[in-house]
Amino acid sequence: MKPKNKNYNIVLHGGAGALAPHLYTPQEIKEYKETLEEAMKVGTSLLEKGGSSLQAVIESVVVLENSPLFNAGRGSVFSSDETIEMDASVSCGERVQTGGVTNVTRLKNPVLGAYHVFENSNHALLSGMAADFFCKKAGLEHQNESYFKTEKRLAQLYQAKEKNIVQLDHSDKMGTVGAVAIDGKGNLASATSTGGMTNRYPGRVSDTSIQGAGTYAENGLIAISGTGTGDVFIQNVFAYDMAAMMKYADIPMPEAAQRVLEKLRDKNGSGGLVAIDKFGYAIFPFNTRGMFRAWLDEDGVIQTGIFE
């Protein structure tokens, strides 16, 4: 999918999973769609004004992190010790460079922390309290525990503990968030943010913060943001695997995505991704029953979807 008369494109996801219409009230569906639309509006208006793809994906993800509906920033899921640990990354196709934070606990917008690491550190990824502190020193907003903690998420944790499982958020109703974009200069970028998986071991690192696993961008090739069973994404370097299929074997983007998603299923994982190639074509495939998503249609009009 690509808007006809635009020199940019952007597509978002809010997590993939066992999403079925009967699980939602009409009001809930409306709220999800409105929030996705708001995030798209922020991203597209930046791109329309000549802003960079990196700016656009970051600002779109901020909108989703600020909403308690999604598993990122506010509304993040709980680790087994009842703490909130959040991961995020940005990936810049122009520099083929990433910045990320993992297991931050107080940063209001982990994606802004990821950008700060990208722009102002010598490192790819900072973790834990040191990452929180690095961002705090730069004046990035912090919040106390009660901002992130929601009763709904606590109930999910107790259910997961009872069943003794580590649960993907999209087994429920909400998910990790991500965006990919191409701007008027042909620069590709992605940004992804997550609260991880319910009942995960404290300190576990997700694919969301790892370049080549759940996120990747390279100019002249592709920008990718994934969602799903993160440990399988990491073990199989999925985002880079998809990019490499295109780069070294000339496999078309939709087929490369299909292959990655098949492999994900073979390894007992599930999920989806959003991607844009160097020509500005966007795809948003998933191997689950649904994925929160938003894209621009051929006329440049914002569209949203949840179910298959």
Q: Which residue of this chain has its Cβ atom nearest to ligand ASP in the complex?
A: 230
User: How many residues appear in the chain?
Assistant: 308
Q: Which is nearer to ligand ASP, 55 or 105 (CB)?
A: 105
> Does position 228 bind ligand ASP by CB under 6 A?
yes
Q: Which of 14, 100, 212, 230 touches ligand ASP by CB under 6 A?
A: 230
Residues from 103 through 132 that contact ligand ASP (CB under 6 A): none
Binding letters toward ligand ASP, positions 191-220, x by CB under 6 A? ---x-xx--------xxx-----x------
Q: Which of 85, 94, 132, 169 touches ligand ASP by CB under 6 A?
A: 169
Judged by CB under 6 A, which stretch of 23-31, 183-191, 225-233, 293-301 contacts ligand ASP? 225-233
Q: Which is nearer to ligand ASP, 212 or 230 (CB)?
A: 230
Total number of residues that touch ligand ASP (CB under 6 A): 17
> Does position 53 bind ligand ASP by CB under 6 A?
no
Residues of this chain that interact with ligand ASP (CB under 6 A) are 15, 71, 168-170, 175-176, 194, 196-197, 206-208, 214, 227-228, 230
